Structure 1
Amino acid sequence: MTAKKDRRLYGRFTIDFADSPKIAPLSDAAFRTLVEMTLHSRRMLDDGFVDGRIASRKWRRRAIDELLANDVTNPSLSIVDRGYMIHDFAEHQQTRADIDAKREAGAAGGRASAEARGAAPAEPNSKLITESETKTSSSTKKRAAPERGTRVPEGLLITKEMREWAASEVPLVDLDKKLPEFIDYWKSVPGTRGVKLDWLATWKNGMRKQQEFAERDVARNAPPAQPYRWQFDGSDE
């Protein structure tokens, strides 16, 4: 039996990451903040950028300040417009461009193999299930495979695997509410822009953007962060 392909996203950290001269001295809070920021930016495909509003909501200011000053020339974080940038993110993590290039290479390779065999390309590599497929699986097998992708199926259903992925990757998104919006949007996209080879990947990307919008709403509605003030008990006087 073939093992099920793991489609989860991963962050890359070298085995000596924690022993780096500028990482080892960090407090536990700052170390955790850097790891979580890296995974957040990786999941949102923001290439190392972290929105300042999200940062102020999710992580302590003291930990962020520590990451801004843990190296004289190349600190782990730098301040940029509207937020922070993680140092050398693209050297260690996959970027949006890396992922797009990999998907395009896979699609091109699949088309080339199909043309070499003199057969039509296989059905899109997607686990989205339609209502008609659940009722008439035999008719699905008889259907000819699409040549270069398909329009969005109107009867999409959210599978158990999709919900498990969403619980981990996009916890703020209401999947059942967003599914009709997703279908209506792609039905309205004209021409080849509305044709996709992998609707599962397209749906995941759409839900990641919805997660980003939800996180921004949370940050926008959050009370302003209070500046940290040292507390003295008189023992140092």
Structure 2
Amino acid sequence: MTWFKVDDSFPQHPKVLRIPRVKRIACVGLWGLAGPWCARNLTDGYLDENMVEELGGSKKQADELVRVGLWERVDGGFQFHDWSDWQPTRARVEERRDAEARRKQEWRDRKRSAREQTEDVPAGQGPDTTRDSDGTDADVRSTRPDPTRPDPDTPNGVSSGPRSGAATDRRGTRLPDDFAVSDEMRSWAAEQGWADRWVDSVTERFVDYWRAKAGRDATKTDWPATWRNWLRREAERGQPVAAAAGTSPRQLPSWEL
């Protein structure tokens, strides 16, 4: 899914106000339908002239958008002004999709490898049982604790608690007091297009939110992963990323300038 971003000051923008009132709703309606269509079809803001009518618009409305500077006329159709500065480009979207596909495939490969290792263990032989060089079972016990064998160090072989090395449930914890963005997390954020100033700002909101939250919903098993998902959702909501050093902290809309 891709997003078409619109700033909340759009209705008061000078370019919009230059459209006569009697035409404004129709022209802005065409602009608002064309934006998501371009984002979904990864056209980088290009709209074929025939699509104007398909979207319910007219040539006069398109010409008015060109006149005020929201669109530009190009060969065969129209182009959103400065699309690549403020909207997701085809190259960026495909890069993100490829990275996500690789991540999912790597996860599936790990799951399949773990399953195959389990399935390859012969019946009656634990995964930790060793074998001699001739392929026969070695007389070595599994390194895993056997819950059915009495503990000789306790009276009557009854254990008073969990044995050393026993598996424990993986339970979630609240956000650590010393939670901080590691170099690895910051490197990941930079690859996603986040500038340091926005990483720090969004992390402050992330920390405040989870420290204020109560109940079981406030516990997580992997806080760095929760932080990465938080940044992804912020980007989907149209929060500023501003990867370039020195970029103004104010997010400009696609129709500005």
TM-score range relative to shorter protein: 0.3 to 0.5
Using the size of structure 1 for normalisation, the TM-score is 0.41
**Structure with larger Rg:** 2
